[in-house]
Amino acid sequence: GNSDTVGMLESLLRCGARGAVLAILYDPEVAEAAHRAGEGRRFESALGVKSGQPGQRPFEGKFRVERLGNGHFTATGPMWRGARMELGPMALLKVEDKGSDVRVIISSRKFQAADQSVFRHLGLEPAEQKILVLKSSVHFRADFQPIAAAIITAIAPGPNLADTRKFPYRNLRPGLRIQPNGLRVLDPGAGSSGGYCSYGEME
């Protein structure tokens, strides 16, 4: 994905989430603004959606800068252990919202949150947080599944759909599976419209 959609952030606030941390949201301009403001200071900004994803809009809000980082750290998890990360200026921001307790980790470069070191770089111990929201579709599991009481996956807008059934396929042969153990493509002559595929169970 683009690492910059804010739908999950808005949902956390709407539901009054407490003890939640979202990582990582790509927004170099907001990271720069946080560094200009300094730790402990507050500022207002439009956060996220820098990549121009259609139908998306940034989150307009007030933030308190809790911690700043230079984005240079070493990964410690199973997937990238020992790799040196360089994400540019980073910030841990507390959303100023009386009805919730939500923090956001901002980076200046796109990076999926698949390593706990992302949190530790900004002074947070992942296992001590009530809710971790990770912008990572699969790779997070190696390092975060051992500390998770439960994992909930969600779909966010982006240039590459996670659900392969949503692509507007054309000219697929009948009987082809779109997903492992999933639905098969029906015969285009038996119910498809507009040149797109129809789906259904086939034994």
For residue 152, tell me if it sits in a domain.
no
pLDDT at 171: 82
Answer yes or no: are the C-beta atoms of 69 and 121 closer than 8 Å: yes
Please list the rounded mean pLDDT of every run of 10 residues in the chain (203 residues): 88 96 98 98 95 85 98 97 98 94 97 97 98 94 97 80 73 78 58 37 35
User: How far apart are alpha carbons 112 and 185 in whole angstroms?
Assistant: 33
User: How far apart are alpha carbons 4 and 33 in whole angstroms?
Assistant: 16
For residue 2, tell me if it sits in a domain.
no
For residue 184, tell me if it sits in a domain.
yes
Question: 197: burial class by Cβ within 10 Å (0-12, 13-18, 19+)?
Answer: buried
pLDDT at 88: 98
User: How far apart are alpha carbons 142 and 138 in whole angstroms?
Assistant: 9
Q: Which domain holds residue 124?
A: 7-147
pTM reported for the whole predicted model: 0.81
* 32 and 78 part of one domain: yes
pLDDT at 185: 64
Give the helix ranges, DSSP H, for the chain: 7-14, 28-37, 117-120, 141-144
pLDDT at 90: 99
* 37 and 106 part of one domain: yes
> Residue 200, SS3?
strand
**Angle at the Cα of 68 (from 116 to 2), degrees rounded to 5?**
60
pLDDT at 104: 98
User: How far apart are alpha carbons 105 and 149 in whole angstroms?
Assistant: 22
For residue 157, tell me if it sits in a domain.
no
Neighbouring CB atoms inside 10 A of 126's CB total: 20
* 95 and 191 part of one domain: no
> Residue 36, SS3?
helix
pLDDT at 195: 33
pLDDT at 186: 60
* 44 and 124 part of one domain: yes
For residue 108, tell me if it sits in a domain.
yes
* 130 and 52 part of one domain: yes
Strand partners, 86: 72
pLDDT at 197: 36
Neighbouring CB atoms inside 10 A of 41's CB total: 11
Task: Give how many domains the chain has, as a whole number.
Answer: 2
